[in-house]
Amino acid sequence: MINAEENFLAILMEFGGIDYPSAQKALAAFRKAKMVKMDAVGGRITVKHGSYLNREVIRRAAEH
Could you give the CA distance from residue 1 to residue 50 in angstroms, rounded to a whole number? 21
Q: Which residue segment(s) compose the domain that 12 sits in?
A: 2-63
> What is the band of 55 on the pLDDT scale with cuts at 50, 70, 90?
very high
pTM over 0.95: no
Element holding 16 (H helix, E strand): helix 2-16
pLDDT in tens, 10-24: 999 999 999 999 999
Task: Annotate 27-61 with DSSP letters as a single string.
Answer: HHHHHHTT-EEEETTTTEEEESSGGGGSHHHHHHH
Into how many domains does the chain fold? 1
